[in-house]
């Protein structure tokens, strides 16, 4: 779904209390970051001609591969929270697109292993590598104190978001 929306959305949710400028500024910055990130993901998805789920899947498969782990359709289904039927269709799409291959599981003859192709690895790195490098550089240019402040804040916000689950 269109996470690429609401460009003029700023200022509604936290804009009603002028006297709280410091906190509001932080939340506005956080919202701007979120919007920029959503837009980036959309661009990536468009340039690779994939939907969001496919992109998450290929990333997960590549990451598992890199960690030396074997991964199958069942794992993808669980991780992506989609049915095994949809997972079959997803793998069909990605296989047809040349991003991954099926191979029989070495010991369980019911199961498959999903292997990313070299092309997938190349294309993902090509698309995302430079940006990630610059994000890392930005993060590393922080002093330890700054990094600690930001990390603690984000963790606290995460805790708030998860608190009414």
Partner DNA sequence: CGCAAATAAATAGCCAGCCTAGTATTCCGT
Partner DNA sequence: ACGGAATACTAGGCTGGCTATTTATTTGCG
35-64 residues in contact with a second copy (CB under 8 A) are 36-37, 39-40, 43, 51-53, 56, 59-60, 62-63
22 sits in which H/E element: helix 21-47
Chosen from DNA, a second copy, none, partner binding at 101 (C-beta under 5 to 8 Å by type)? none
Q: Compute the least distance from the CB of residue 145 to DNA, in Å.
A: 42
CA distance 42 to 59: 15
Chosen from a second copy, DNA, none, partner binding at 122 (C-beta under 5 to 8 Å by type)? none
Q: Compute the least distance from the CB of residue 92 to DNA, in Å.
A: 7
Residue 99 touches DNA, criterion: CB under 7 A: no
Tokens of 13: 């949710």
Q: How many helices (H) and strands (E) does the chain have?
A: 6, 2
Q: Compute the least distance from the CB of residue 123 to DNA, in Å.
A: 17
**Residues 6 or more apart whose Cβ sits within 8 Å of residue 93:** 54
């Amino acid at each position: 779904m269109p996470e690429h929306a609401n460009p003029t959305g700023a200022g509604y949710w936290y804009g009603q209390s002028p006297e709280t400028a410091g906190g509001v500024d932080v939340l506005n910055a956080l919202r701007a970051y979120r919007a920029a990130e959503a837009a980036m993901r959309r661009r990536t998805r468009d340039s690779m001609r994939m939907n969001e789920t496919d992109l998450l899947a290929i990333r997960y498969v590549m990451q598992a591969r890199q960690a030396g782990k074997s991964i199958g359709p069942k794992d993808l289904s669980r991780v992506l929270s989609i049915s095994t039927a949809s997972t079959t269709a997803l793998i069909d799409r990605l296989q047809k697109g040349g991003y991954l291959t099926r191979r029989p599981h070495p010991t369980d003859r019911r199961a498959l292993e999903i292997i990313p192709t070299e092309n997938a690895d190349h294309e993902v790195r090509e698309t995302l590598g430079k940006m990630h490098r610059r994000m890392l550089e930005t993060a590393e240019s922080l002093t330890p104190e700054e990094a600690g402040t930001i990390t603690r804040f984000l963790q606290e916000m995460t805790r708030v978001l998860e608190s009414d689950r």
